[in-house]
């Protein structure tokens, strides 16, 4: 309930999701996800410290630590929502416990209440654009426009990944206006 991406869920939906997710444990140094690996899940950090590594040079051989994740943080949401390969490597800096949420875990929720996709895409877009804003010094107007554009793109990808679930791109645009 405390994770932004799921705040719009109703109590019965939170209960249903919590019964489906899997708790996983990792030892210090274990990779939870690796860049470019296929993925259809996301993770919520329950205990421990994780480091995020990215290939900033684009050479495929050099990785740089670009972030850390602590209890309450989540990662992997793009792979969960779109099926895209992992964009970074995440390793356990300490012994770690995470909850894994898979495509099948979330698919039932989206089938029952497709409008959840609208809220999820907004949260993910805001998170991504906030990172860009910090990095690129975006103005408030640019931040708003980038968030809207990214949310629309993400919703389109979700529609393709979760085919037949009634996720309606036009409705989401109208609701935001």
pLDDT at residue 98 in the model:
97
Q: What is the pLDDT of residue 32?
A: 97
Q: Which ranges of the chain would DSSP assign to H, the alpha helix?
A: 11-20, 77-82, 103-112, 116-136, 140-161, 169-176
Q: What is the pLDDT along the chain (177 residues), one digit of tens a residue?
A: 677 778 888 899 889 889 999 999 999 999 999 999 999 999 999 999 999 998 877 666 778 888 899 999 999 988 888 888 998 999 999 999 999 999 998 888 888 888 888 888 888 787 777 665 555 565 667 666 777 776 777 777 777 777 766 665 444 443 433
What pLDDT does residue 61 have?
72
**pTM of this prediction?**
0.75
In degrees and rounded to multiples of 5, residue 137 shows phi and psi of: 55, 50
Nearest 5°: the CA angle 25, 29, 35 is 90
- Check residue 163 and give its pLDDT: 75
Do the beta carbons of residue 88 and residue 35 sit within 8 Å?
yes
Residue 18 backbone dihedrals phi, psi, to 5 degrees: -65, -25
Please tell me the predicted confidence (pLDDT) of residue 25: 98
């Amino acid at each position: 309930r405390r994770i932004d991406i799921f705040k719009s869920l109703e109590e019965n939906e939170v209960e249903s999701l919590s019964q489906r997710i899997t708790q996983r444990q990792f030892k210090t140094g274990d990779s939870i996800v690796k860049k470019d690996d296929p993925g259809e899940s996301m993770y919520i950090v329950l205990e421990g410290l994780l480091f995020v590594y990215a290939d900033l040079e684009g050479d495929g051989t050099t990785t740089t630590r670009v972030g850390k994740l602590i209890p309450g943080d989540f990662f992997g949401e793009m792979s969960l929502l779109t099926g895209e390969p992992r964009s970074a490597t995440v390793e356990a800096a300490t012994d770690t416990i995470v909850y894994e949420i898979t495509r099948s875990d979330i698919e039932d929720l989206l089938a029952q209440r497709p409008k959840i996709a609208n809220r999820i895409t907004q949260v993910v877009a805001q998170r991504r654009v906030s990172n860009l804003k910090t990095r690129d010094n975006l103005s408030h107007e640019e931040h708003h426009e980038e968030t809207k554009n990214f949310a629309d793109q993400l919703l389109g990808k979700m529609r393709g990944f979760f085919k037949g679930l009634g996720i309606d791109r036009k409705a989401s645009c109208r609701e935001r206006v």
